Amino acid sequence: MSSHRNFREGQQNKLLLEPPLGVPDDYEQLVRANQRFQAALEQAIAAGGERKQAVEATVTLKKRRRTKHS
């Protein structure tokens, strides 16, 4: 049986970088998962911005009510 020491450096790296035969390529799954994550992140950022605007509007309204009643 050969050990990794029997290979030249370039051959060893190639063997380590390429997936074994018969193993499904996970790259597409990783790309799809990353796309879903990016979409979810964008939605969360947008929702956070909307919440911030809502809080700021509420604070402004409360300040106006206080100054009118004073």
Is residue 40 in some structural domain?
Answer: yes
**Does the residue 19 lie in any domain?**
no
> Does any domain span residue 13?
no
Q: Which amino acid is at 4?
A: H
The alpha carbon torsion through 25, 31, 32, 37 (nearest 10 deg) reads 140
Q: Is the pLDDT of residue 56 over 60?
A: yes
Query: Does residue 31 lie in a domain region?
Result: yes
User: What is the pTM (predicted TM-score) of this model?
Assistant: 0.48
Q: What is the DSSP letter of 23?
A: P
CB 1 within 8 A of CB 7: no
pLDDT digits (tens, 9 = 90+) for 14-52: 656 666 565 567 888 888 899 999 999 999 999 999 998
Domain membership of residue 34 as a residue range: 25-70
Q: How many domains does the chain have?
A: 1
Q: Is 26 helix (H, G, I), strand (E, B) or coil?
A: coil
Residue 69 burial (CB count, 10 A): 6
Residue-wise pLDDT tens digits, 8-21: 555 555 656 666 56
63 found inside a domain: yes
Please report the pLDDT score of residue 21 as a whole number.
Answer: 60
Q: How high is the pLDDT of residue 2?
A: 47
